[in-house]
Amino acid sequence: MIVSITTDRKAGGLANSLVSYSKALDLIGQQHLVLIPETAPVIKTLETLDNVETIKLNKTKLVFHIVTRFLFSKKLKNALKDCDLILVHNAKFMKHFKRFKHKVAYVNHTGKLRYTVHEAFNIFITSAGLKKFLKAYPNNKSTNKVISHGFDLSENSSQSSAISSEDSDKTLNIMSAGRFLEKKGFQTLIDAASILKKTHANIHIYLYGEGPFLPNLKQQAKSLALENVIFMGWHANLHEEFNKYDAYCSPSLMESFGLATGEAMMHGLPVIATKTDGALEMFPETTETKTEDYGGILVDFTAPEQLAHAMLRLGDDALSKKMGENAKKNIHDNFSLERLSQDLEAFIAEVNQHK
């Protein structure tokens, strides 16, 4: 049995990872016990999975049990003692699991390095995250691994994307999604839309999400008199939405691993993304390959001219179609649930060797 512990109550990346980990663990015959705040919306999804048991607690009570090392809960204490692996999803709590250092791992969802120095295990989502850690702490005593996210390919619709070469004058519809925060870079995407407006490009950008920066973004679009930017609101499930679009754009200034980007690729959408750790992991460039070979065009941070140019490039139907095919193959070959399950199985075996 594998135990996951999180105090996070939000929908989004960490929550989605709990679901993916659960499905991947099921593929290798592992049960997954998840300790989680009782108000976390992901509980509903987790409880539909046969190999998952959730222990739902008030967040304050859950934190209390963590900091008191589960002294006051025999059930939780025994679960930790008997399990094969403990996955801690909030770095600041790692110090409370020192006695389990032979089988506890911090899953670094954000790429941040606070609380990552210990004698247990670190799981990084990207190679860039691990590289930063090793540069900052070359003499660390932890065991460090890269295990990227895995996507459930069964959630992909068989419907193809909206790209068609039959109408050369059609509008190119580009989707972007996420929580509206300044660090997500949507303001740069709106600036790119302004550049496209001046060139009279037939490109529309659809923004999905909500968040505290939304009023700023709407005011920015209004002040630029943009009719090519459409705010779509929050959608809990984007899988049906992806098939309405020709491409996906991630303008983020900081992203450890873009789950929405991966889902768009799974649906065969070519991607334009800034050079975040996650994008560099998904779209590597070598002496023998280009990022387009993996389904993506990478641009610099806060570079609206580059974003606009990349979107204009995707007006080439042949390029868009090929990149969409490459994106889908990239997810299938490198970021599937099966790949995640193999990585987790190998990691669990390594943990068992340390006991």
| Rg of the Cα atoms in the chain | 21
Between 354 and 252, residue with greater pLDDT: 252
Q: Are 125 and 19 contained in the same domain?
A: yes
Q: Are 328 and 350 contained in the same domain?
A: no
Q: Are 75 and 160 contained in the same domain?
A: no
Examine the pLDDT at 106 and tell me if it is beyond 80.
yes
10 Å CB burial of residue 175 (0-12, 13-18, 19+) is buried
pLDDT digits (tens, 9 = 90+) for 225-256: 999 999 999 987 898 899 999 999 999 998 88
Average pLDDT, the chain: 92
Q: Are 239 and 265 contained in the same domain?
A: yes
Query: Read out DSSP for 268-334?
Result: T--EEEES-HHHHHHS---SS--GGGGTEEEE-TT-HHHHHHHHHHTTSHHHHHHHHHHHHHHHHHH
Q: Are 89 and 168 contained in the same domain?
A: no
Q: Are 71 and 191 contained in the same domain?
A: no
The sign one gets for the Cα dihedral 270, 272, 275, 278 is negative
pLDDT digits (tens, 9 = 90+) for 322-331: 999 999 999 9
Between 111 and 247, residue with greater pLDDT: 247
Between 170 and 80, residue with greater pLDDT: 80
> In the predicted model, what is the mean pLDDT of residues 85-96?
94
Q: What CATH number is attached to the domain comprising 244? A: 3.40.50.2000
Q: Are 295 and 348 contained in the same domain?
A: no
Q: Are 188 and 303 contained in the same domain?
A: yes
337-354 and 13-27 helices cross at what angle (nearest 10)? 80
pLDDT of residue 114: 86
pLDDT of residue 165: 42
Q: Are 35 and 166 contained in the same domain?
A: no
Q: Are 140 and 257 contained in the same domain?
A: no
Query: Binning pLDDT at 50, 70 and 90, where does residue 12 land?
Result: confident
Q: Are 146 and 230 contained in the same domain?
A: no
pTM: 0.88
Examine the pLDDT at 166 and tell me if it is beyond 70.
no
pLDDT of residue 258: 85
Q: Are 207 and 221 contained in the same domain?
A: yes
Question: For the chain, how long is the longest CA-to-CA vector?
Answer: 68
pLDDT digits (tens, 9 = 90+) for 251-275: 999 888 888 999 999 999 999 999 9
> In the predicted model, what is the mean pLDDT of residues 210-221?
97
Q: What are 248's strand-pairing partners? A: 175, 271
Which secondary structure element, helix H or strand E, spans residue 231, and what is its range? Answer: strand 229-233
pLDDT of residue 163: 46
13-27 and 259-266 helices cross at what angle (nearest 10)? 60
pLDDT of residue 162: 54
Other C-beta atoms closer than 10 Å to the C-beta of 325 total: 13
Query: Residue 315 sits in which domain range?
Result: 154-334
Number of domains in the chain: 2
Between 2 and 11, residue with greater pLDDT: 2
pLDDT digits (tens, 9 = 90+) for 26-72: 999 999 999 999 999 999 999 999 999 999 999 999 999 999 999 99
Examine the pLDDT at 13 and tell me if it is beyond 80.
no
Helix (H, G, I), strand (E, B) or coil at 152: coil
